[in-house]
Structures are given as C-alpha cells and as structure tokens.
Amino acid sequence: MTYLRSPGLQAPWPFILQCLLVLSGFAAYETTWAASDKPAFDIAAIERPRIMEKATKYLREEPVTVTASHCERSAGGKHDFFSEGDYWWADPKDPNGPYIQRDGMSNPDNFVEHRHAMIRLSEIVGTMASAYVLTGDDKYVRHAVKHLNAWFVDPETKMNPKSDYSRSETNRLPVLRTATGKQISGLSRCLELHV
C-alpha cells in the first residue's frame, strides 16, 4: 500500500484520496464529452478562481481541534466534542434549575468553539479536495490529511469517537452538562463539506 510521505502522517493514499473525492462531491472517474454532449457552461472554470483563492489561504492554516478549547460546563474531557443547544437559556426565575427553550433565539453565552472548529475543518478539507481535483497537485491532499490526522488520529489533538457531549440542552448548575438524544445534530458538521 502506498503512503503519503510527510512527517507525522501515515495515511493510506488511495483511501484518503477516495474519501476526499467522494466528500467533495466529485466523481473519481473522467467523463469524455462528445461535441454535442458538452455542457453549456464549465463549472470547474467558473469555480476555479474562488476555490484556488480559498485553497491558497487555507494552505497557511494549522489544524485547530477540540483540544484547543474546553468548556467548564462540559462533563467530557479535553478530547470530547461539546456543544450546547442554540435555543437553550438559563431560566431567569430559577438560575440553578433546568434551562428553558427560547425557540429561534440563540443564546450568545453558549459554548460554540468546538462547532466553529468543526465548521473550519469541513471548509478546509472540502476546499483542499476541490483544489486537488482542479490541479492534481498532491500538496492539497497532504494538507487535508494534516488536518484530518490532527482531528482523528494524533493522540494529543484528536477528538474522541463518541458524541456523548455533542448536544447539551439542559443544565442544573453546578452539575456538569452531558448531551441528550439529539447528539447527532450537534456533530452534523462532520457530514458537511463547504467548498
């Protein structure tokens, strides 16, 4: 099996490349167009300047994972993704009681650093995959792998593979918060790729 040759990265090349291509929405095969079958516009040509500008910026970005910040309200540890439900607030009538829901009103005091880091990861990986498809330059794959390695492999910076704390909605202070049944929605950023 071929491996990327980069310090600290031991990612299987075919697997990572295939994941990046699939996640970015590009097929891993070439289509040949007959003259009459050519599309009316070339989406790659249209998107290339925007994608390459973002790729140039993101090549300078170092990984930022869940270990870069921690919320004192989380019952999880340094490697656990934690997120508080957007519309949950401390009850002004009972500050030590359960949180109350205010539909449509995001609580600006909720912990969102892990969510922002996950969004950033999805933007960087999606952009690197798209830049690779457009250019064929391995540096984009290597940079995406660097971020994926930090998030999911490196023991110092990786996120635990569980969602126990990913969608906390209620609180009884000073008891630490754990997630509810809506854990998957708290980690939905793992499934999105922004390009």
Helix (H) or strand (E) holding 100, with range, is: strand 100-101
d(CA 111, CA 86): 9
Q: What pairs with residue 101 in β-bridges?
A: 88
Position 116, amino acid: H
Please tell me the least confidently modeled range out of 15-29, 52-66, 116-130, 141-155.
Answer: 15-29
* pLDDT at position 125: 93
Phi, psi at 165, each rounded to 5°: -120, 15
* pLDDT at position 120: 94
Give residue 176's pLDDT band: very low, low, confident or very high (50, 70, 90).
Answer: very low
* pLDDT at position 19: 57
User: Among positive and negative, which fits the CA dihedral 109, 62, 50, 56?
Assistant: positive
Position 21, amino acid: L
Highest mean pLDDT among 2-16, 54-68, 174-188: 54-68
Mean pLDDT to the nearest integer, 109-114: 89
Mean pLDDT of the chain: 76
Q: Give the residue carrying structure tokens 């697997």.
A: 15
d(CA 117, CA 35): 45
Which region, left, alpha or beta, applies to residue 136 given φ > 0 means left and ψ of -120 to 50 means alpha?
A: left
Position 3, amino acid: Y
Residue 39 half-sphere exposure toward CB, CA atoms < 13 A: 8
Would the pTM count as exceeding 0.95? no
DSSP label at 88? E
User: Can you tell me whether residue 94 is helix, strand or coil?
Assistant: strand
Helix pair 138-152, 13-23: axis angle to 10 deg: 90
- pLDDT, tens digit, for every residue of 15-74? 555 555 555 544 333 444 455 566 677 888 899 999 999 999 999 999 999 999 999 888
